[in-house]
Amino acid sequence: MSELKQQPFVWQVRVYYEDTDAGGVVYHSRYLNFFERARTELLRARGIQHEALRQEHNLIWIVLDIQARFLQAAKMDDELLVSAELSWKKGVRRGFRQEMIRKSDGELVATAELSAALLFADSLKPARMPAWLEAELNNDK
């Protein structure tokens, strides 16, 4: 696997009532939503939009696996800084590393590591990354 060296992209999210359980703590699946949004915004910042990728190039991203660690509870009204960075590539798979930090105190709330791949949207078969897309991913704006 080759390692990639880029600055992490950071996206800010606020915890809303709908994100919490009865105790006012972020429900575990919402952390995955926040991580997903940060990855989507990372791609968007690099000029890659999911819908255009599907419509114009017949390509979609899928998550193959994810390892999440919940370290601190995020709560109602917390502002979270969610990072996303490409960490490795191997064949059609790309690795992402993510962190979620509470803005008010700098505490690490959660981490995630995952692998994702491109598929052809019409057949759902693995697709090699086109050179233009690789260049956009490596464009650390």
Question: Of 19, 21, 65, 140, which is the active-site residue?
Answer: 21
Distance between alpha carbon 68 and the CA centroid of its chain, in Å? 12
- Residue 106 tokens read as 């700098």
Distance in angstroms (rounded) separating the CA atoms of residues 54 and 121: 6
Can 21 be counted among the known catalytic residues? yes
CA–CA gap between residue 90 and residue 30 (Å, rounded): 29
Active-site amino acid positions = 21
